[in-house]
Amino acid sequence: MRKLILLLALSGITITGFGQTKPMEIPLYKGAVPNAVAGPNEEKLEIRPNKSQSITKVRTPTLTVFLPAKGKANGTAVVICPGGGYAKLAFSHEGLDVAHKLTERGVAAFVLKYRLPDSTVTSNLEITPLQDAQQALYLVRQRAQEWGVNPERVGIMGFSAGGHVASTAGTHFNRPQIPNRENFSLRPDFMVLVYPVISGDSAISHKGSFANLLGKKPAAEKLKTYSNETQVTAQTPPTFLLHASDDKTVPAQNSLVFYQALLQHKIPAELHIYQNGGHGFGLNNKTTQDQWLERCLNWMASNKLLDGRPKN
């Protein structure tokens, strides 16, 4: 808890009087964490000079819960997956900061501290991030009434490799990786993908992310399975995509090929590509006065995701 308080303080978020509730960090699983490999807790929080924080060696996945003030809450919820190349989590500028802004607009936000594909932590590297994303969606729907959330308006947002986690959740939901006795939907109702890792195509892929997830020489069929532009179907959720043309880390073609697949399957989608911005800009692309989160909220409103009150 002290670590969470430090994170929130450094992000400029006060935990007293924040809306109606304090942000809460809760375990993602009750009891044993699936596929866990026994070992010491080596999780590390790094705080950089610019006050951004990254986390490595996640052994115990959590959700940090941000609920809007009761009078503002509209019932929509978003699970946020920070990026970091499947090697770390950019937990502040691609997680906590975004959650804070969303709650100001009435959206409940849940920052996912997911396990990374690390053999010292998990026995099944490739499914572990998806497993944690599915569990996050399950948990938000399970506790929807308690948190003032409409279980039919639970989306997922991901940045960079977190965009791969999110897009995998949005295209692999028919492959459950968690127990689900209540048969809750594991499909996100919408996706927001910000400079996402999508494709394993060597011409456009972020090779580090795919190497960390699948190994340096994955089988072609495995690579295709996790190249999420090839997994889009008529059931894929509506999607908002954002990228920068000059992104040299994760080329903008990742968003383009996913958008084209969405169009092919007639999935409602919106794509924004900035001329400049590079990679990893989080909430604030300093090369433009435009605020992409406003564009995203406009898209959400046009899809009736910001209307009304919680469904209880």
Angle at 198 between CA 64 and CA 214, to 5 degrees: 85
If we measure between CA atoms, which residue out of 217, 214, 150 comes closest to residue 185? 150
* 24-27 and 62-66 strand pairing: antiparallel
pLDDT band at 21 (very low <50, low <70, confident <90, very high): low
311 inside domain: no
310 inside domain: no
DSSP state of 229: G
Taking residue 42's Cβ as centre, other Cβ atoms within 10 Å add up to 12
3-state secondary structure of 212: helix
Q: Is the pLDDT of residue 18 over 70?
A: no
What CATH code is carried by the domain that includes residue 207?
3.40.50.1820
Longest dimension (CA), the chain: 52
Q: One-letter amino acid identity for 63? A: L
Residue 167: domain span: 2-302
**pLDDT given for residue 3 in this prediction:** 47
CB contact at 8 A, 134 and 176: yes
Mean pLDDT of 234-263: 98
In this predicted structure, which of 30-44, 136-150, 297-311 has the lowest mean pLDDT?
Answer: 297-311
- Spacing of C-alpha 89 from chain mean position: 11
Q: Give the pLDDT confidence of 116-133 residue by residue, as tens digits.
A: 999 999 999 999 999 999
Alpha-carbon distance of 64 to 45, in angstroms, equals 15
Q: Give the pLDDT confidence of 202-220 residue by residue, as tens digits.
A: 999 999 999 999 999 999 9
Mean pLDDT of 66-81: 96
Mean pLDDT of 166-187: 97
Q: For all residues of the chain together, what is the average pLDDT?
A: 93
Alpha-carbon distance of 154 to 142, in angstroms, equals 11
Alpha-carbon distance of 247 to 278, in angstroms, equals 4
216 inside domain: yes
pLDDT band at 310 (very low <50, low <70, confident <90, very high): low
Higher pLDDT, 22 or 253: 253
pLDDT band at 309 (very low <50, low <70, confident <90, very high): low
Residue that has been written with the tokens 């929807």 in this structure: 144
CA distances from 156 to 124, 170, 262 (A): 23, 8, 16
Q: Is the pLDDT of residue 8 over 50?
A: no
9 inside domain: yes
Alpha-carbon distance of 42 to 20, in angstroms, equals 34
* Residues contacting residue 55 through CB under 8 Å, at least 6 positions apart: 43, 44, 45, 46, 88, 89, 91, 113
- DSSP annotation string for 251-284: -THHHHHHHHHHHHTT--EEEEEESS--S--TT-
135 inside domain: yes
pLDDT band at 140 (very low <50, low <70, confident <90, very high): very high
CB contact at 8 A, 239 and 267: yes
Structure tokens at 300: 């959400």
Q: Is the pLDDT of residue 16 over 70?
A: no
3-state secondary structure of 112: strand
212 inside domain: yes
Taking residue 34's Cβ as centre, other Cβ atoms within 10 Å add up to 18
**pLDDT given for residue 22 in this prediction:** 84
The pLDDT > 90 percentage for the chain reads 88
In this predicted structure, which of 4-13, 55-64, 89-98, 148-157 has the lowest mean pLDDT?
Answer: 4-13
**pLDDT given for residue 20 in this prediction:** 45
Structure tokens at 120: 């010292």
Q: Give the pLDDT confidence of 95-107 residue by residue, as tens digits.
A: 999 999 999 999 9
Taking residue 221's Cβ as centre, other Cβ atoms within 10 Å add up to 7
Q: What total of structural domains would you count in the chain?
A: 1
Q: Is the pLDDT of residue 11 over 50?
A: no
Q: Is the pLDDT of residue 311 over 60?
A: no
